[in-house]
Structure 1
Amino acid sequence: MKMFYVQRGADGKVIGVSVSPQGGDEPPLPGGHPEVVDFLLRAGGDAAAVEALAATDVDLVRVVEDLIGLLAENGVIMFTDLPEGAQRKLLLRERLRARLGDINPMVDDDNAIL
């Protein structure tokens, strides 16, 4: 996910966003962070809205994967009821996340690199 460095005003509100550090001590925020999205929508119009929406896609994909897993685990749906293409994509992502976890111990429970 794209990360952004924010600049804050005296009131703590985000007044600037950049893809590189601008001298502040604050760690970068993910593109889907509410403060980043709010700033991009206020400052950038439609193009920023598109970018802000895209920044949330990775997080939403993980939510959908987890939801499908939970529904299958609880017997609400059968994994094999999903279209073959969806099954292949989900299995591939599961294997990739498992491999990333095996080679990178800095992966947390949500499989995000710390």
Structure 2
Amino acid sequence: MIFIKRNAKGEVIAASREPIGCDNSESGGWDVANGDEPEVVAFCGLLTESANPLSPSDLGLVRVLEDLIDLLIDRAVIRFTDLPPAAQAKLMERRGTREAMHRLGALDGTDDVL
């Protein structure tokens, strides 16, 4: 369960696992919310980005690292089996997802999904 506080405009300004600063008889201005509500997700996303200024570039860097690993394997610098099993599984999962997205893009004429 997640507790949130809103400002006068109704925007989420705080989130907590417990209603901070109140006893059992009153809510102290905290409302119960689901963690998957769009407003809560957006608020927590803002906190994550401000806490880690590298967050916006992380997804792009993941793709660069995948391409680098593929290049090293293609040039026989490393073998896929040299990677730890967990890394192999993640790479295979992403490759499968990317291939499925590519097939879907080819079906609707937008072949630029990768």
* TM-score, L = length of structure 2: 0.50
How many pairs does the alignment contain? 63
Runs of 4+ in structure 1 deviating by more than 4 angstroms, as ranges, are none
CA shift for structure 1 position 104:
1.9
SS of alignment partner, residue 54 of structure 2? helix
User: 5 Å matches for 1:1-114?
Assistant: 48=50, 50=52, 52-105=53-106, 106-108=110-112, 111=114
Give the structure with higher Rg (CA).
2
CA shift for structure 1 position 48:
3.8
Unaligned runs of 5+ in 1: 1-46
**Cα RMSD, aligned residues only:** 1.8
2: CA distance between counterparts of 1:96 and 1:88?
12
Unaligned runs of 5+ in 2: 1-48
2: CA distance between counterparts of 1:95 and 1:54?
25
**Equivalent AA in structure 2 for residue 96 of structure 1:** T
2: CA distance between counterparts of 1:57 and 1:108?
21
SS of alignment partner, residue 104 of structure 1? helix
